[in-house]
Amino acid sequence: MRMLPTTIQMFSALGSFSDEEQQWIMQHLQWYDVKEGAMILSEGDICDAVYFLEKGYCYQYKQEDEDEKVIDLHLPGEWIFIQQSLVRQEPSLVAIRAFQDGRVARLGLKQMHALMSLAPAFLQFGRLFNQGQERLLMFDETMDPAEKYAYLMQTRPEIAAVFPVKMIASYLKLAPETLSRVRAKYRIS
């Protein structure tokens, strides 16, 4: 089985699997092409799957009046899901939307459980649920706007090249004007 770099990323985010176990995962995935603006998960739906973003960009948001409050921005090679909704099987408070055309793989909760019953190696899927730790670090109230942006540029610089300032500002919980000032200083230093 020849793996693309994003497929390698897919498996490394999940754990360490034999070739046979990787084949089993691939057999349980459903692949979809998504168009810009397409909803992957709507607010109020129950998240019953995790999604691997092979190409394209997505974002999570909560609708507040006329504004979309950006919760997370996703790059190719990342797994996407709404943790609280998935774990508790309750309606999601946020939505996931394609920012541009892309391709995602869906691994349903039932398929995850089926894989876990096949081999103990699939218990490694639990690693997915630790993804939110970097987001907690960024918003733990000890980082000022410049530190938040510097951290973003160190860990996920592609975000600044793809997403508009307004979305990045919302994600960082900053006013767009504040982010513009921070970005100007960041470029100078």
Instruction: Domain 1-130: state its class.
Output: mainly beta
| pLDDT tens string 111-127 | 988 988 888 888 888 87
Per-residue pLDDT tens for 105-161? 999 999 988 988 888 888 888 877 776 555 655 566 678 999 999 989 998 999 999
- Domain extents in the chain: 1-130, 132-189
Residues 122-149 as b or e (16 or more Cβ within 10 Å = b): bebbeebeeeeeeeeebeeeeeebeebb
Q: Name every residue whose Cβ is closer than 8 Å to that of residue 5 and which is 6 or more positions away in sequence.
A: 77
Kindly report the pTM of this predicted structure.
0.86
